Amino acid sequence: MLPARAIYQGLTTHINELSTLLQSGPSDRFRRRLAATAGEAATLASWIAWDLKQPGQSASFERVSALAAKESGHQIIQACTYAYKSYAVEGRAAYEAVRQAQQFLPAQGDDATRAWLLSREAEELAALGDRRAIEVMHQAEADIDPNAEEVQSIMTSQVNRASDGGTVVVGSVGGNILLWCTRGERPE
């Protein structure tokens, strides 16, 4: 395993090279592909910069990611940037970052990403003590085909009766775990 700092140095070099290539005036087809690659790399660089406690650099790479998403036409890059940002902040700010990420999803497709973001929303709602977390978690399950190969390994959910008469809802989508407990009430 490489430390974040080692990855970060190579990644920023990669982004600089991509930027140089973009400035060289490639055809539209190659420009969009290079921009998408730069956006993906900038999203990762933003996450690593945050991990290295460099918030200014993280914000800078968020801006690069947004520009690259727009240039490439791949708004899912912007969705991922906001989704990753939701892990870097807490409370209402985390919830708002997830909601922003959802705004960049296409109307159809990217079901696994949609389920992941709904799971993140449910997780943040639960952290805020908002009972809508259960409904959102169920929506994450409903919005994706559980039989799809890509989904079988990233999404599970179960509802168990607790010994005190309450209900424990445990869900996981994309590695995010939601635990919600009620007393004497069953979630709808």
Residues 72-131: tens digit of each pLDDT: 988 888 898 889 889 888 999 999 999 999 999 888 877 888 888 999 999 999 999 998
Average pLDDT over residues 14-19: 92
pTM of the predicted structure, to 2 decimals: 0.68
Contact 65/35 with Cβ under 8 angstroms? no
61 closest CA partner among 76, 75, 48, 74: 48
121 is written with which tokens?
Answer: 């929303």
**β-strands 155-161, 176-181 pairing:** unpaired
pLDDT (tens digit, 9 = 90+) per residue, 140-179? Answer: 887 766 555 544 333 333 333 334 443 334 444 444 444 4
